[in-house]
Structure 1
């Protein structure tokens, strides 16, 4: 029989919960950095813009700002709330040059460090160097569509 005072010296097992915001995302250099995508030579600006909008709408439901003439697009915030964190992501695309035609694409990825934070609470978010897995492959898809 083990004495009660000996029980306090036995190692205790603590099971930590996985951070769902990390298991639902991947670390990447594309988070919060502009990526330059060159358009296939000879492709019109109108055709390139249609490809951009079509590709973006495949992953994002709402375009907050879409100015074809200026070559600027911004999505509304999309995100997920987890037990210990809230993550939000938006996409910004802007034309960087006319000849050759090229665009800069940026995933703005932020976290609050708390569950249930409203996506509109800008002051509670800070940069997050991860992107949600549901956006994995987006840059590659957009690049392929613009270069073919």
Structure 2
């Protein structure tokens, strides 16, 4: 298990482990560019939920109210349901999109008409399901 995830469970906080593209999928480093943490109780996330956080870059989810600079809190054990917002690995690249199932086939849909839906050519791995959103107001 990742030591950052283990530490966040013990302290009751959620660590921001890096960033995710809300736009065209891109290969992302698994290393965090900075490490922030959020108090689980203030976000009303149940204790014991296995969560991680990613900072959003891009505008493909803008019509879902998710903007560049927001931090999405994701549950990596929750099974995605149709229309959930997920962090996903699609054919080796990561992205934040809406999970859609049509005729038994899953794909990812942007919440911005400027971006196409993403249909996996080989693999679609859901890395986490959105459970909370944090936005810092300046």
TM-score by length of structure 1 reads 0.25
Structure with the greater alpha carbon radius of gyration: 1
Higher helix share: 1
Q: Relative CO higher for 1 or 2, CA cutoff 8 Å, sep ≥ 6?
A: 1
Higher strand share: 2
TM-score by length of structure 2 reads 0.26
